[in-house]
């Protein structure tokens, strides 16, 4: 997530001057993204749990969940 995107989103939400004191907005954006990634990863893991144990689909889905979580470390 880039600074430009966060400023663009802030303007879309009606924030008149997002260039002033951006630190809280950046922290909020990171927190929202973190929680959204975790929610997505949990859904993928639920699908993996429904697959045949040790099957290819299950391994792929668990790998996808890990990749979703890793996006926060980029």
pLDDT in tens, 53-62: 889 999 999 9
pLDDT at 6 over 80: no
Higher pLDDT, 22 or 49: 49
The structure tokens 């929680």 sit at 35
Task: Say how many residues make up the chain.
Answer: 74
Quote the pLDDT of residue 37.
94
How far, CA to CA in Å, does 5 sit from each of 9, 10, 11, 41? 6, 9, 10, 23
* pLDDT given for residue 59 in this prediction: 95
Is the pLDDT score of 32 beyond 80? yes
pLDDT over threshold 70, residue 1: no
Looking at residue 19, its pLDDT comes to: 65
HSE-CB at 54 with a 13 A cutoff on CA atoms is 0
């Amino acid at each position: 997530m880039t600074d430009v995107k966060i400023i663009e989103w802030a303007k879309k939400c009606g924030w008149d001057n997002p260039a002033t004191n951006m630190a809280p907005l950046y922290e909020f954006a990171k927190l929202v993204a973190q929680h959204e990634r975790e929610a997505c990863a949990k859904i993928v893991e639920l699908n993996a749990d429904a697959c045949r144990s040790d099957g290819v689909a299950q391994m792929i889905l668990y790998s996808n969940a890990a990749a979703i979580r890793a996006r926060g470390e980029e």
